[in-house]
Structure 1
């Protein structure tokens, strides 16, 4: 049973790393579930400190995943229209059957939102949309790093207790 839990946990970890790059999947959350499964094995001693810290990081970075693009839009001069456009564009981009919709959506959403506010100021709208895009890339990169960190922790824990597993 331990081997099955480790294999399923590893699959969750790999899906989590992939999910950190594809916004449809909550990458860090799926990676954390992989860590949780690891602690259901009999061979790995339960560690509340690791699980609690990684759960805190999971919640923190899940919230930041939504806040970073909006804050970057605002930092680049975007208004609330641009921020709403970013969020709506992300949802539409995820659901739209177009390649890279999750990247194009927030950019176009912020651009359209800013143009709705002030249709004459194209430079400001483009700057805000660029901020949205940079925020999205930053958020995805952070999610990727955290997911890879969780994977490294998973592998380390399995490696340390491999005698009891196999």
Structure 2
């Protein structure tokens, strides 16, 4: 059973990293589930303080990721359509061209969304940049936290398995 829990925990941590690039899977929260699962094995001592702190970090990052694109959008004078366009572009770009598509798709989607509101490419560019910066910033933060959780996973498994 311990090996099963360790493997399931690893799968969740990896899914969390993948989820960092997708608005469908909440990256850090999914990675946290991996940390939570391994605490039910007899190999890892149950540490409620560790789990609460990492959970609060995961939820905070989830909330921050929702707010950052809106801040970027408003700071640069964008519309809701620009934010929707950036999110759709992010998804399409990610599936078509991976991380490069994430960046390009997000930007092109934001411009497209803003263009439907502003009817001017020049007026659409500034808010699209703000939305793009917000989405990319949120993605980077989610990726870093999910990667940190994976590192914590390996640390916990390694130190408790080989000590």
Output the TM-score relative to the length of structure 1: 0.81
Question: Residues 145 and 93 from structure 1, CA distance in 2 versus in 1: closer, same or farther, beyond 3 angstroms?
Answer: closer
Separation (CA, whole Å) in 1 of partners of 2:143 and 2:90? 20
Per the alignment, residue 134 of structure 2 pairs with 135
CA drift of 1:73 comes to 1.7
Aligned-residue Cα RMSD (Å) equals 2.6
Bigger shift: 55-64 or 91-100? 91-100
Asked if residue 39 in structure 1 is aligned to residue 22 in structure 2, the reply is no
CA drift of 1:39 comes to 0.6
**Which consecutive unaligned segments of at least 5 residues does structure 1 have?**
none
Kept after mapping to 2: 8 A contact 1:90/1:103: no
Bigger shift: 98-107 or 69-78? 98-107
Separation (CA, whole Å) in 2 of partners of 1:18 and 1:34? 13
Deviations 1:65-98 (A, max 9, x none): 22211211222232xx2x3431365257637996
Q: Tell me the number of residue pairs that the alignment of Structure 1 and Structure 2 aligns.
A: 160
Per the alignment, residue 160 of structure 1 pairs with 159
2:82 aligned to which of 69, 81, 85: 85
2:91 aligned to which of 72, 91, 94: 94
3-state SS, counterpart of residue 21 of structure 1: coil
Separation (CA, whole Å) in 1 of partners of 2:95 and 2:162? 48
Per the alignment, residue 26 of structure 1 pairs with 26
Output the TM-score relative to the length of structure 2: 0.82
Deviations 1:37-65 (A, max 9, x none): 01111221111111111111111111122
Per the alignment, residue 14 of structure 1 pairs with 14
Per the alignment, residue 124 of structure 1 pairs with 123
